[in-house]
Amino acid sequence: MERLINLNSKKSLTNEQRQAIYQRLLQESSNGKLRKGSISDIANSYAVCTKTISRIWGRGKLHVNEESMVDVSLKKSKSVGRKKKQINLGEVKGLPFHRRSNICSIANSIGVSKSTLHRRVQEGALRTHTNAVKPDLTEANKMARLEFCFSKINRSLSNNDSTFDDMFNVVHIDEKWFYLTKSSRRYYLVPGEDEPLRTCKSKKFITKFMFLAAVARPRFDASGNEIFSGKIGIFPFTTLEPAKRSSKNRVAGTLETKPILSVTKEVTRTWLIEKVLPAIRAKWPQGHTGPIFIQQDNAKPHININDSRFLEEASRDGFDIRLCFQPPNSPDLNVLDLGFFRAIQSLQEQESLGTIDELISAVQVSFERMGSRELNNVFLTLQMCMKEILKVRGGNNYQTPHIGKGKLERQGNLPLQIDIDENLINEVGSYLGL
C-alpha cells in the first residue's frame, strides 16, 4: 500500500534533491552495494517511487565506472509538454476598443479559444483596464483648471524646490447620494449554501439620501500623533415630518425621517450656516491664522461666494471663513470625489440596512471610521493630480498617479507637499502668458 501511494504521488525532484539523494546512497553503500532497504527508506522520505531512487543510483554507478564526473541531474529538456499556443498581440491591438470589452469578443475576433486568451491574461500578456467616463472639457475649462493648479504652487526663493501648497486652510465640501441597497451585489458562498434573497418594490426607486460632507487636511505633530482629524462632518439632507396616518409600524403623528429630494440654494445655505460653519468653529485646531476657504463645485444649488447671510455668519467668533469655487467639470480637484466618498461608501455597503435611520447611521459611522491618515493620503493624491494636470495643459487625459504612500509612511518618508519641477513651472507659466 505504501508503495502504491508513492507511485501515485508523481512528485518531481529538483536537481539539488537528486544530488543529495545520490550522496546519501553513497553513504548507505559499501563496495558498490547498497544496504538492504536503503532505496525504500529514501523513497519514503522523499515521497517518490523506489524506481526513481534506483535510476539515480544506477546513473551514479555508471558515471563512476566511466571515471567521469557524477551527474544525476534530470535529463528532461527545459521545454516539455504541450507547446503554448501564441496569440498575435498586434492583431489584438488592431481591434477597436468596443470589441475588446470581454474575453469572448476578443477570442471570436482573432480566432482563438476563450481559455487560451484567459491564460494569456493570467500570464500578463494582456492586462485588464476599468475605464471610467470623464467630463468633457472645453478649452475654457482646461485653462481654468490650469490656472487653478498653477495658483496652488509655492515658488521657492532658490527656484530649486518648489512645492504645492500644504492646503491646511481649505475645507472641501460636496454632496453624494447614498442608497439603502444596490440593485446587484456580489457575495461569496460556500458549496451548498442557499443564495440570499433581496427584495424591493421597484429597482428604479431604491431608497436614497443625499449627504453633504465637509473635510479638511488632517494635522499631526512632530511625533506623528494626530492633532486634527480633518473630518468636519457629514450631514444628511433630511427633515422630520409627522406621519399622516397610522400603520403597523407607528401611530399617526409619529415623527419620521424624510429625505429632501430637491436641494435648492436655500437648503444649501441653511446647511452651511447651521451645520458646516458650527462644525468648523468647534473642530478647527487652535492657533490657526488667516482665512479658511470652503471649496465647492459649480453645481446650481451652491450659493454665491458673496452671499450676505453666509458672510455674516462666517465672520463670527473671530473666524474668517470664505467660499470659493473649484474649476468647472473638475471632480478630480476635490478630495471627496477623488477617493474619500468611495472609501466611505465601501464601508457603508458592508452593513445590512433595512430602514432610513439605519442608512443615515451607517453613513455617519463609516465617515467616522475612516482614518485621518487615509484622508491625508487623498490630499497628497490631489497634489499629484494637480501635477499631472499641469503636464497635460489642463486636460484630464492622465492616469491617477501613485507614489507608494503606505510604504513611504512606514519608512517615515511621507512628504507633506509634492515637489514640482521648475522647468514644468516655467513651461506652464509661458503657456498661460505669465
Closest CA to 115 of 107, 126, 124, 123: 107
Q: Looking at residue 137, what is its pLDDT? A: 93
- pLDDT class for 389, splitting at 50, 70, 90? very high
Q: Looking at residue 65, what is its pLDDT? A: 57
Residue 315 has pLDDT above 60, yes or no: yes
Mean pLDDT of 211-233: 91
Q: Which residue's entry shows cell 465637509?
A: 214
pLDDT tens digit sequence for 200-209: 888 888 888 8
Q: Does residue 125 contact residue 131 with C-beta atoms inside 8 Å?
A: no
- pLDDT class for 157, splitting at 50, 70, 90? low
Residue 141 has pLDDT above 80, yes or no: yes
Q: Looking at residue 79, what is its pLDDT? A: 63
pLDDT tens digit sequence for 25-36: 888 888 778 888
Mean pLDDT of 291-302: 93
pLDDT tens digit sequence for 49-108: 888 888 888 888 776 655 556 777 777 666 667 777 888 888 999 999 989 988 999 999
Q: Which three cell numbers stand for residue 142?
A: 482646461
402 contacts: CB under 8 Å, gap ≥ 6: 384
Mean pLDDT of 8-32: 78
Beta bridge partners, 354, equal none
DSSP letter for each residue of 169-183 = TEEEEEEEEEESS-S
Instruction: Tell me the average pLDDT of the chain.
Output: 86
Q: Looking at residue 159, what is its pLDDT? A: 59
- Percent above pLDDT 70 for the chain: 94
Q: Looking at residue 4, what is its pLDDT? A: 44
3-state helix, strand, coil in the chain (%, to 5): 45, 15, 45
- pLDDT class for 258, splitting at 50, 70, 90? confident
Q: Residue 210 region, left (φ>0) first, then alpha (ψ -120 to 50), else beta? A: beta
- pLDDT class for 24, splitting at 50, 70, 90? confident
Q: Is the dihedral of CA 84, 90, 95, 96 positive or negative?
A: positive
- The DSSP secondary-structure symbol of 13 reads P
Q: Are strands 170-179 and 208-216 parallel, antiparallel or unpaired?
A: antiparallel
Q: Computed over its alpha carbons, how large is the radius of gyration of the chain?
A: 33
List strand residue ranges (DSSP E) for 276-346, in order.
292-296, 321-325
Closest CA to 387 of 133, 112, 206, 149: 149
Q: Is the dihedral of CA 404, 407, 411, 414 positive or negative?
A: positive
Residue 405 has pLDDT above 50, yes or no: yes
pLDDT tens digit sequence for 349-380: 888 787 888 888 889 899 998 889 999 999 99
Q: Looking at residue 244, what is its pLDDT? A: 84
Does this model's pTM top 0.85? My answer is no
Q: Does residue 337 contact residue 132 with C-beta atoms inside 8 Å?
A: no
Q: Looking at residue 8, what is its pLDDT? A: 44
Full 3-state SS string of 342-388? HHHHHHHCCCCCCCHHHHHHHHHHHHHHCCHHHHHHHHHHHHHHHHH
Q: How far apart are CA 220 and CA 223, in angstroms?
A: 8
Q: Does residue 203 contact residue 367 with C-beta atoms inside 8 Å?
A: no
- Work out the number of other CB atoms within 10 angstroms of the CB of residue 350: 9
Q: Which three cell numbers stand for residue 10?
A: 508523481
The C-alpha angle 253, 254, 258, rounded to 5 degrees, equals: 105
Q: Which residue's entry shows cell 531512487?
A: 53
Mean pLDDT of 274-280: 94
Distances (CA, A) of 278 to 243, 270, 290, 309, 319: 30, 12, 18, 15, 11
Q: Give CA torsion, residues 403, 408, 413, 414, to 10 deg.
A: 60
Q: Which amino acid is at 217?
A: R
